[in-house]
């Protein structure tokens, strides 16, 4: 579903934040430090703030034009929301992109875009590595929730699981299906990592009425939880 926010030149390729709020709320608190990669000119970050997110939201896009537009359109948002030019496949290790400093890395459509171009395998692997490098290796502040990379995509499990599960990052992966139409009913989660039955459980999801949310959690060892 494509949605346009009038008078602000904002464009939403997928559904707005409210469609995914329930699923995202299961994996990040309102105070989580979030990095949104490939933010585009979407109102997603502003929607998060409007819904009560008080943690820092760092937005990055490869387009300087888009970043300038977003900073101008949303200049009334709290200082905890910022906009930066950068490549999600090769982020600098300097503020605000300090290694192991984010609770959540959020991708909405960026992995899909990378899969539409050349060198798909190398590019998606680079994106995963950067996400993993940026994630903290301890629970989200004030919770027992593991930091995670979250990818919102139009790709069903049959076409996407292999890109996120069983990779060198060794994430603990689960997937949801979210209806595009109101009331945006969410199905799942279905555990992917360490199971053999996820295909049977998600076969009925293979439909263009859904968006999919892949939650790739950092595995917490006993030392990191303490």
**What's the 3-state SS for the chain?**
CCEEECCCCEEECCCCHHHHHHHHHCCCCCCCCEEEECCCCCCHHHHHHHCCCCCCEEEEECCHHHHHHHHHHCCCCCCCEEEEECCCCCCCCCCCCCCCCECEEEEECHHHHHHCCCCHHHHHHHHHHHHHHHECCCCCCCCCCCCEEEEEECCCHHHHHHHHCCCCCCCEEEEEEEECCCCCCEEEEEECCCCCCHHHHHHHHCCCCEEEEEEEECCCCHHHHC
The C-alpha atoms of residue 25 and residue 11 are separated, in whole angstroms, by 23
Is 1 a residue whose pLDDT tops 90? no
pLDDT band at 10 (very low <50, low <70, confident <90, very high): low
Residue corresponding to tokens 């290796």? 137
| 222 vs 137, higher pLDDT | 137
- Which residue, 126, 41, 40, 34, is CA-closest to 81? 34
Is 148 a residue whose pLDDT tops 50? yes
User: How do beta strands 34-37 and 172-179 pair?
Assistant: unpaired
| 10 vs 40, higher pLDDT | 40
Contact (Cβ atoms closer than 8 angstroms) between residue 57 and residue 81: yes
**118 CB neighbour count, 10 Å cutoff:** 7
Is 59 a residue whose pLDDT tops 60? yes
pLDDT value, residue 118:
84
How does pLDDT run across 183-196, given as a tens digit for each residue?
999 999 999 998 98
Write down the mean pLDDT value for the chain: 90
pLDDT value, residue 157:
95
pLDDT value, residue 169:
94
**86 CB neighbour count, 10 Å cutoff:** 20
In percent, how much of the chain has pLDDT > 70? Answer: 92
Is 5 a residue whose pLDDT tops 70? no
pLDDT value, residue 3:
37
**Residue 134 backbone class (left: φ over 0; alpha: ψ -120 to 50; beta: rest):** alpha
How does pLDDT run across 91-125, given as a tens digit for each residue?
998 999 999 999 999 999 999 999 988 899 999 99
Mean pLDDT, to the nearest integer, of 26-36? 92
pLDDT band at 132 (very low <50, low <70, confident <90, very high): very high
Can you give the residue ranges of every domain in the chain? 3-225
End-to-end CA distance of the chain: 43
The C-alpha atoms of residue 157 and residue 193 are separated, in whole angstroms, by 12
pLDDT band at 29 (very low <50, low <70, confident <90, very high): confident
pLDDT value, residue 144:
79
pLDDT value, residue 56:
96
Residues comprising the chain, all counted: 226
Mean pLDDT, to the nearest integer, of 149-174? 94
The C-alpha atoms of residue 70 and residue 73 are separated, in whole angstroms, by 5
Model confidence, pTM: 0.91
pLDDT value, residue 143:
75
- Give domain 3-225's CATH number out of 3.40.50.1100, 1.10.600.10, 3.40.50.150, 3.30.300.30: 3.40.50.150
């Amino acid at each position: 579903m494509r949605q346009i926010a009038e008078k602000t030149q904002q464009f939403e390729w997928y559904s707005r934040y409210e469609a995914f709020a329930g699923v995202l709320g299961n994996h990040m608190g309102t105070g989580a430090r979030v990095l949104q990669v490939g933010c585009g000119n979407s109102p997603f970050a502003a929607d998060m703030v409007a819904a009560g997110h008080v943690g820092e939201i760092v937005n990055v896009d490869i387009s300087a034009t888009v970043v300038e537009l977003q900073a101008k359109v949303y200049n009334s948002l709290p200082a905890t929301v910022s906009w930066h030019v950068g490549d999600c496949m090769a982020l600098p290790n300097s503020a605000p992109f300090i290694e192991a400093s984010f609770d959540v890395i959020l991708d909405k459509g960026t992995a899909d875009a990378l899969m539409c171009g050349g060198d798909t395998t190398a590019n998606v692997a680079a994106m995963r590595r950067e996400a993993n490098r940026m994630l903290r290796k301890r629970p989200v502040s004030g919770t027992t929730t593991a930091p995670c990379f979250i990818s919102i995509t139009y790709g069903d499990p049959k076409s996407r699981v292999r890109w996120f599960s069983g990779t060198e990052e060794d994430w603990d992966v689960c997937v949801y299906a979210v209806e595009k139409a109101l009331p945006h009913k969410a199905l799942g989660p279905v555990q992917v990592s360490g199971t053999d039955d996820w295909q049977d459980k998600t076969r009925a999801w293979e439909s263009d009425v859904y968006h999919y949310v892949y939650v790739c959690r950092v595995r917490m060892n006993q030392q990191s939880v303490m």
